[in-house]
Every structure is written in C-alpha cells, then in structure tokens.
Amino acid sequence: MAVRAIVISGDPVLHSPAASVEEFDDDLRVLVQDMYETMDAAPGVGLAAPQVGVPLRLFTYSYLDDDDRSWRGVAINPELWITPVPAGEADEDEDVEGCLSYPGERFPLLRSPSAILRAVDLDQKPFEIHAEGWLARIFQHEYDHLDGTLYVDRLEHFYAKIATKVTRKRGWGVPDLSWVPGVDNLED
Ligand code: ZN
C-alpha cells in the first residue's frame, strides 16, 4: 500500500476519456487501496484513477453527510444520471468546489442537486446510490474525471478567466506535473 503521486492539470491522462475496467485482479485491489490512502492523505472527498495516472474508469469517495451518515466506497465502471443543472449563477459560498489535480484553488460551480450512481464494487457486485447535495456533487466531479473533464473546464466565463491566469502563474497546463500528499505542500 502506498500514497501515490497526484497528477496536476495539463497531463494528458487527465484530459482524455478513461477505459473500462476489464480485469478484477490483485492489481486492481492494490490500486483501490492506494487510492483510498492517497485520498485520505490529501485529504480529499473523492479521487478518480486518472488522477493517479491510471486511465481506468473508477473512483473512490469518502464523505460524511449532514446527517452524520458516512459514504465511503469505490465505484468501478460507473454510470451517472443527473437532474438538470439549475439555471442561474454559482454561489460563491455554497457552490465552491476544489480538485486535487488543481490543488490549493477553489471556484464556484453550479451542479445538479441530485444524481443516481450505478457501478460495481471490487467483487463486481452492482450497487446504486441516490445522492443529493454534496454527495451528488462529488459523484458528478469524479465521474467527469473519467471522461477527461476537470471542474475548471466547466467554470462560468468570469471564473474560467481567473483559472486560466492561475494555470499560467503556477506553470501548470503541461504534462508530467504531480504532487505527493504528505510530501509536497502546495498551499504555499
Ligand atoms: Zn478532481
């Protein structure tokens, strides 16, 4: 088990669709364990395989909701259905999102308030979660990663312009950049 390096925006693995998981073998189990460890070390509420440089369709999530219910698991070969994203502008307090592949930055983004996730677990057992609120947001964010989309790609024009400047200033947007939770401090 190991904390893996998290790839930063600009590497092709983050901007290309990932492939379905075909082999449910020991390598996959190790990958999932490492993803949990990396997500917890970051810390983050979700982590998709492309973020650790593996172009496969799976993500881990870990979130305690407002009712103190713990949501933690792995979604392999997921499908996601969402209700329409509400009209209007993202709220600078309520709708602020972040991404471990765009570390240390946060931008508001409107998301669908509810989502249905269907996936299989490591034993290829299917499961379904009807998610609301922040959990629905996490699923949309992680699912996007599997299609090569980052949340910064979805920002409203005003925030997209700021993100473009941030990318330039930090020297991101090029291949092979990564950071290791617990080793690199990107808040500075
Ligand atoms: Zn992300």
Q: 């979604």: which residue's tokens?
A: 75
Interval between CA 188 and ligand 1 midpoint (Å):
20
Does residue 186 surpass a pLDDT of 90? no
* Count of domains for the chain: 1
Structure confidence at residue 1 as a pLDDT band (50, 70, 90): confident
The DSSP secondary structure of 24-89, one letter per residue, reads -SHHHHHHHHHHHHHHHHTT-SEEEGGGGT--BSEEEEEEE-TTS-EEEEEEEEEEEEEPPPPSS-
Dihedral sign computed on CA atoms, order 159, 162, 164, 169: negative
| pLDDT value at 185 more than 90 | no
Residue 95 lies in a domain: yes
- 187 has a pLDDT exceeding 60: no
- Domain contains 188: no
* Cβ density class 138-159: b for 16+ within 10 Å, e for less: bbbbbbbbbebbbbbebbeeeb
Ligand 1 center to residue 76 CA distance, Å? 16
pLDDT in tens, 133-161: 999 999 999 999 999 999 999 999 999 99
> pLDDT tens digits for 85-140?
999 999 999 999 999 999 999 999 999 999 999 999 999 999 999 999 999 999 99
CA–centroid distance, residue 8 to ligand 1 (Å): 10
Among residues 128, 142, 156, 187, the one annotated as catalytic is 142
Q: Hey, is 7 helix, strand or coil?
A: strand
| pLDDT at position 49 | 98
Cβ proximity of 69 and 63 under 8 Å? no
142 noted as active-site residue: yes
Flag whether 184 is in a domain.
Answer: no
What CATH code is carried by the domain that includes residue 122?
Answer: 3.90.45.10
Q: What are 29-59's pLDDT values in tens digits? A: 999 999 999 999 999 999 999 999 999 999 9
CA dist 184 and 151 (Å) reads: 23
* Helix (H), strand (E) at residue 160: helix 157-170
Q: Is residue 57 part of a domain?
A: yes
Quick check: is 92 in a domain?
A: yes
> From ligand 1's centre to the CA of 14, what distance in Å?
9
pLDDT value for 188? 45
For residue 76, the enclosing domain spans: 6-179
Residue 187 lies in a domain: no
Q: Residue 184's pLDDT band (boundaries 50, 70, 90)?
A: confident
Structural domain includes residue 124: yes
Q: Is 150 among the domain residues?
A: yes
